[in-house]
Amino acid sequence: YTAFNGVDFEGTFHVNTVMDDDYAGFIFGYQDSSSFYVVMWKQMEQTYWQANPFRAVAEPGIQLKAVKSSTGPGEQLRNALWHTGDTASQVRLLWKDPRNVGWKDKTSYRWFLQHRPQVGYIRVRFYEGPELVADSNVVLDTTMRGGRLGVFCFSQENIIWANLRYRCNDTIPEDYETQRLQRA
Ligand SMILES: *[C@@H]1O[C@H](CO)[C@@H](O)[C@H](O)[C@H]1NC(C)=O
């Protein structure tokens, strides 16, 4: 329930079944069910089974999305969350892991998120054991100016989230300045 400004958020997720291939992940910057960031990872490519209100295609690979939904929970937001891409008035895809590989069954992944909403800095890393398997590098977005933390599931059973840890942290990481200068 606590809303955060700058925060470091880490945790582990593990899909403890060979059944299904859907989305697992986590949420941050949660203001309400229409406004939040989500980091979500699908195992396999799949077109959503409800083609209304629009066709939605999920790609494997980790995605960072800014959800700012004009409708709130419902069919529009459902398909927009499933879809790997932008959906007007619902979701913006801020980053997608270019490796485009899905999570493995019965495998633990640990994430490290840094969010500094005062400057719009977001960076997320995923580890499988000691190995870094994905890194968003610096993503700049100010859609949500902080908010609550949580976990995320879309249609996947038997997800275990473990060792969730968070810490207030308003220190701007060093790579923010280099990124900002490169873009200027
Ligand atoms: C706070 O964030 C900075 C920049 O990312 C990092 O260097 C530092 O270790 C963090 N502090 C703590 C206590 O984790």
Establish whether residue 8 lines the binding site of ligand 1, counting it when its CB lies within 6 angstroms of any ligand atom: yes
Q: Could you list the residue range(s) of the whole structural domain that residue 128 is in? A: 3-183
| Tokens describing residue 72 | 């709130």
Total domain count for the chain? 1
pLDDT tens string, the chain, 184 residues long: the values are: 999 999 999 999 999 999 999 999 999 999 999 999 999 999 999 999 999 999 999 999 999 999 999 999 999 999 999 999 999 999 999 999 999 999 999 999 999 999 999 999 999 999 999 999 999 999 999 999 999 999 999 999 999 999 999 999 999 999 998 877 777 6
Query: The domain spanning residue 77 has which CATH number?
Result: 2.60.120.200
DSSP 101-132: -PPPTT-EEEEEEEEETTTTEEEEEEEETTEE
Q: What is the model's pTM? A: 0.96
Q: Whose CA is nearest to atom 12 of ligand 1?
A: 169
CA distance 123 to 116: 9
Please tell me the distance between residue 176's alpha carbon and the centre of ligand 1 in angstroms.
Answer: 13
Q: Whose CA is nearest to atom 7 of ligand 1?
A: 173
Q: Whose CA is nearest to atom 8 of ligand 1?
A: 171
